[in-house]
């Protein structure tokens, strides 16, 4: 859907831009020649408004020409600067909630053309702990958001005790990722309340959620028991959701190639409350409130 919209936006910009250019450099001068000729024949007997009616600008040309700068500005902003996204699932709780609307910094990891996504300019690379929007590798027309856990060359281990361990490229030592401040969270699944912990990945401090039961077959996602280990290939990244037991991520479908990266999630610009009672007749997408306290930067 995102790629389709980008293509439509590019085509609309090209179409309106061509009409604007044709009008500015070809059609408008021809109209002006007709007006000048009519003015010369009439002398001072006809006012300017009447003369313009001799060779009017077609309404469709006027509409397209006026739309061009607006559409072009939107395309440049959305393709190369910031793009808005809506959080559709709880896989990044508690960092991001369903109903959060975020801005993604498109130039964080390189400027790409909006249709074929070829990198045009190098601007930076992901850092461990970044919240990143990317094209879902098994289905590239779908956008996912997860946190960068593994960098190229890293060895990642995740145990059944929910301890994340990272051996950076070139290191034989796997260092456990610090987890502190274990508390009961405000989030629950069924009758079980999630546990919330502070985690530090690289220079980024954030919170994660874990289900207190080590093996619960009602969980939507859960890695195999024991210790799971992955070696991240060059040019690829290992992604995980902050809601560790309810996230479809690299533990299940593999690594994210560098060319799939869309940008870095940097800010929540609005957040809507979508929860409602079972008796409500309103569609689920209609907000029931605004969570102003969530507006701000994303860790």
Catalytic residues: 91, 146
Selection from 281, 289, 285 nearest residue 86 by Cα: 285
What pLDDT is attached to residue 216?
43
Calculate the alpha carbon distances from 28 to 35, 50, 118, 189 in Å.
10, 17, 37, 65
Q: Is 281 helix (H, G, I), strand (E, B) or coil?
A: coil
Q: What crossing angle do the helices spanning 59-76 and 2-22 adopt, rounded to 10°?
A: 130
**How far does Cα 105 stand from its chain's mean position?**
8
Structure tokens at 94: 């508690």
Q: Where are the beta strands (DSSP E) in 151-246?
A: 155-159, 164-167, 175-176, 179-189, 192-201, 204-210, 227-231, 236-240
Residue ranges of domains in the chain: 2-80, 87-297
> Is residue 253 classed exposed, middle or buried when 0-12, 13-18 and 19+ CB atoms within 10 A define those classes?
middle
Using 50 as the pLDDT threshold, list the residues of the chain that sit under it: 214-219
Between CA 108 and CA 145 the distance in angstroms is 15
Cβ neighbors of 143 (< 8 A, separation 6 or more) are 2, 85, 133, 134, 135, 136, 262
Left if phi > 0, otherwise alpha if psi is -120 to 50, otherwise beta: which for 190? left
Beta carbons of 199 and 216 less than 8 angstroms apart: no
What is the pLDDT, as a whole number, of residue 115? Answer: 85
User: At residue 217, what are phi and psi to the nearest 5 degrees?
Assistant: -70, -5
Domain 87-297 has CATH 2.10.109.10: yes
Q: How far apart are CA 73 and CA 13, in angstroms?
A: 9
Q: How many CB atoms lie within 10 A of CB 45?
A: 8
Per-residue pLDDT reduced to its tens digit, 78-104? 999 999 999 989 999 999 999 999 999
User: What's the pLDDT at 215?
Assistant: 46
Q: pLDDT tens for residues 30-70?
A: 998 988 888 788 776 767 777 778 888 999 999 999 999 99
pLDDT, residue 227, reads 60
C-beta neighbour count of 222 within 10 angstroms:
19
210: which 2 tokens?
């874990």
Give the per-residue pLDDT at 162.
86
């Amino acid at each position: 859907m995102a790629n389709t919209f980008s293509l439509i936006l590019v085509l609309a910009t090209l179409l309106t831009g061509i009409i604007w250019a044709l009008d500015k450099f070809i059609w408008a001068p021809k109209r002006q020649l007709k007006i000048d000729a009519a003015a010369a024949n009439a002398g001072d007997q006809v006012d300017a408004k009447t003369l313009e009616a001799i060779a009017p600008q077609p309404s469709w040309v006027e509409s397209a020409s006026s739309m061009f700068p607006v559409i072009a500005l939107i395309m440049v902003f959305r393709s190369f600067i910031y793009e808005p996204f809506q959080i559709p699932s709880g896989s990044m709780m508690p960092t991001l909630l369903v109903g959060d609307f975020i801005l993604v910094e498109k130039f964080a990891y390189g400027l790409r053309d909006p249709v074929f996504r070829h990198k045009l300019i190098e601007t930076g690379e992901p850092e461990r702990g970044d919240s990143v929007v990317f094209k879902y590798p098994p289905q590239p027309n779908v956008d996912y958001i997860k946190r960068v856990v593994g960098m190229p060359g890293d060895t990642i281990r995740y145990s059944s005790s929910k301890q994340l361990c990272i051996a950076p490229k070139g290191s034989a030592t796997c260092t456990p990722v610090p987890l502190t401040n274990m508390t009961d969270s405000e989030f629950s699944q069924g009758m079980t309340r999630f546990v919330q912990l502070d985690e530090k990945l690289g220079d980024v401090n954030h919170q994660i959620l874990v289900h207190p039961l080590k093996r619960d077959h009602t969980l939507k996602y859960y890695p195999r028991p024991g210790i799971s280990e992955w070696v991240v290939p060059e040019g690829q990244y290992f992604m995980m959701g902050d809601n560790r037991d309810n996230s479809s991520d690299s533990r299940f479908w593999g690594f994210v190639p560098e060319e799939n990266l869309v940008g870095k999630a940097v800010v929540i610009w609005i957040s809507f409350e979508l929860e409602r009672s079972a008796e409500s007749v309103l569609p689920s997408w209609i907000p029931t409130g605004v969570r102003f306290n969530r507006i701000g930067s994303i860790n």
